[in-house]
Chain A
Amino acid sequence: MDALMNFGQGIFGGAWPAVWTLLKIVLIVAPLMLSVAYLTYFERKVIGYMQVRIGPNRVGPLGLIQPIADGLKLLLKEIILPTKANKGVFIIAPMLAIAPALAAWAVVPFTDGLVLANIDASLLYIMAITSMGVYGVILSGWASNSKYAFLGAMRSAAQMVSYEIAMGFSLICILMVSNSLNLVEIVNAQDQGRFASMGLGFLSWNWLPLLPMFLVYLISGTAELNRAPFDVAEGESEIVAGFHVEYSGMAFALFFLAEYANMILVAALTSIMFLGGWLSPVGFLPDGILWLFAKMSFVLLLFLWFRATFPRYRYDQLMRLGWKVFLPICMIWLVVVGVWMLSPLNIWK
């Protein structure tokens, strides 16, 4: 590592810190894009097997080259601009969708020291950046000048704003018990307690003492992602494909990339905040980045599983779940956690 630093210092001189940061960004984004490609493959295969089909199996052995072929196809397709569309906004919208999905990864820690920017307010940063993802959806719906796209955009905006509240409340519980807004410290706070010292670390992770908040976060996360069963923004049977109905080629692919990059992001955040991040579940195995990847894969499998299993929510049911079920649960649990922390039974000292 030192040799690499000295080498870079020699070549780039004063610009080396900037070049090094850019390199680190590439090291995060390139594997992320590859995972996005193979997440689509994984999704088609998993849902295929759940529905007793085979899934993609033509391109390459076991269909493994399918996502590359899909990507190439989308790259080569023409981007069609609808006649009455608002051209500038129409083109900016997919970029606004994918930029926050990538920018949020800046503060996601992979292990104790492996993080691009270890800032103190990283949880707030994530919430602020991910809350901007909705603009891509709204603007694409508006700029397309199409009824279906606009309906999808309106649904999506209302849905994302409502579920952000439940999500924020569950994160408040997390930062109360871990006494920090820093994601690295949130993970490290899950490594202490009675069970962790007994070598049963997985029982002292946040998912168990904050079980209702874990469920609320997971479900609101699915809703924030506009994934089934909360995909009313796309709703093929009602509004064709929702906000991206007028998009084709690479512009459509950007929405797709943003959705899957966000899925991986929510999986990473769930693993970090509730499932102990890179911590090993039992005392005799070492901690490491592989644990984080295993937990993320598990959460991603849950998302795919939801999609294969549940029918779509109706719009009013969706709003009811967000405002009348999750919000009261969150508020009550917030008070419960507060009282718990002040009582002698406090387990988070």
Chain B
Amino acid sequence: MDFQSFVFFFLSAILIFASLRVITSRNPVYAALHLILAFFTCGGIWALLQAEFLAIALILVYVGAVMVLFLFVVMMLDINMDRIREGFWNYLPLGAVLGLLMVMEMGLVLGSKYFQVPASEAITPAGISNTKSIGALMFTEYVYPFELASIILLVGMIAAIVLTYRGPKKSRYTNPNQQVFVKAKDRVRVLQMPVEKD
């Protein structure tokens, strides 16, 4: 076994273990932590396939930002696992059928192609990295879809803000802007007091 396949199988083993722990772990914080491990390992596998841009983007976006906020929320939740697990056996047959169906579909689509150490398929000429070619392609051939996607994301962001906006605050609060720009003469009055003589 050469070094590359060793790394691949090592990372795959960690990935499978972490993904299983995400759905089996009783403590939601552990589940979130294993999801982070799964993302990181997946980034490692992508880097092995010479898709270093995707690998770093995955770690930067999902591990560095999304999962931080996710973990943050999960830590504050008070989850009663017993209540969630109620009716597990009732739902199991339906879940099992759906799960098997998905596994079958994936097996049919992917076939035997990916059940081995995949060779890096992206053939980039020597001296030009994956990052550079993705950048060039994205901003020349696919510039309109790219801009469209960014506009859709912007609309989604504004929609989220509009949905959660609850009107102007009625309570009294300090305005940091005024606080920062306050001058000494707004707060302190210096009086001239002539010395009184008898």
Contact = CB atoms under 8 A, between A and B. Distances in A.
A72 interface: no
A124 B71 contact: no
B169 to A, nearest CB: 13
Contacts of B64: 127-128, 131-132, 134, 164
Contacts of A119: 52, 129
Interface residues of A, number: 26
Interface in B139-198: 176-177, 179-180
Interface in A119-151: 119-121, 124-125, 127-129, 131-132, 134-135, 138-139, 142, 150
B70 to A, nearest CB: 11
B56 A128 contact: yes
Interface in B46-88: 52-53, 56-57, 59-60, 63-65, 68-69, 71-72, 75
Given A154-B72, A320-B176, A121 B65 contact: no
Nearest to B72: A157
A128 B69 CA distance: 16
B14 interface: no
A132 B36 CA distance: 10
A317 B176 contact: yes
B29 interface: yes
B53 A124 contact: yes
Contacts of B129: 119-121
The interface residues of chain B, by DSSP majority, are classed as: helix
A181 interface: yes
A2 interface: no
A120 B135 CA distance: 12
Interface string A145-189: 000001000100100110010000000000000000100000000
B5 interface: no
A316 B179 CA distance: 12
A320 B68 CA distance: 21
A134 B68 contact: yes
A71 B84 CA distance: 48
Interface of A: 89, 119-121, 124-125, 127-129, 131-132, 134-135, 138-139, 142, 150, 154, 157, 160-161, 164, 181, 316-317, 320
Interface of B: 29, 33, 36, 52-53, 56-57, 59-60, 63-65, 68-69, 71-72, 75, 129, 131-132, 176-177, 179-180
29 contacts: A89-B29, A89-B33, A120-B129, A121-B52, A121-B53, A121-B129, A121-B131, A124-B53, A127-B60, A127-B64, A128-B56, A128-B57, A128-B63, A128-B64, A129-B59, A131-B60, A131-B63, A131-B65, A132-B63, A135-B36, A135-B68, A138-B71, A154-B72, A157-B69, A161-B65, A161-B68, A164-B64, A317-B176, A317-B180
